[in-house]
Amino acid sequence: MVYGYARDFPHHVRLTNAGMWRDDHTSYALRDLGPNDFKEWTEGDGRHAPDGERTHVWGFKSAEHAAAFKRWAETCGIDWTIPALEQNARPPRPPERNFFQGPMTGYRGDQSGS
């Protein structure tokens, strides 16, 4: 399955230590993309990382989407070089939303709908 994802979504962004509380941030960063725009998978067995984390990989069909996600990862305030539990200074948690509502296209930070 991973080989199929890597082939079908050829533009990859790899982040180590991306699990735990950081899942909320990566999910929110991808909120405007559809399920056929990207796939996420993990590499490695986690035994070599200090806290058992694996490398998370996001594959994108579009080079532009991959570049935008990589830029976000580099500027979001998360230190991917250390395990999630070791990062004391964390960016604010993204707003919660109902994931069954679909992408938040045009989201401006308010929920008034205007």
Instruction: Provide the pLDDT for residue 43.
Output: 85
**Which pTM was predicted?**
0.77
Three-state secondary structure call for residue 31: coil
Instruction: Provide the pLDDT for residue 54.
Output: 77
Instruction: Provide the pLDDT for residue 44.
Output: 75
Positions in the chain whose pLDDT score sits under 50: 104-114
19 touches 40 (CB < 8 A): no
**Rounded Cα distance, 78 and 87, in Å:** 8
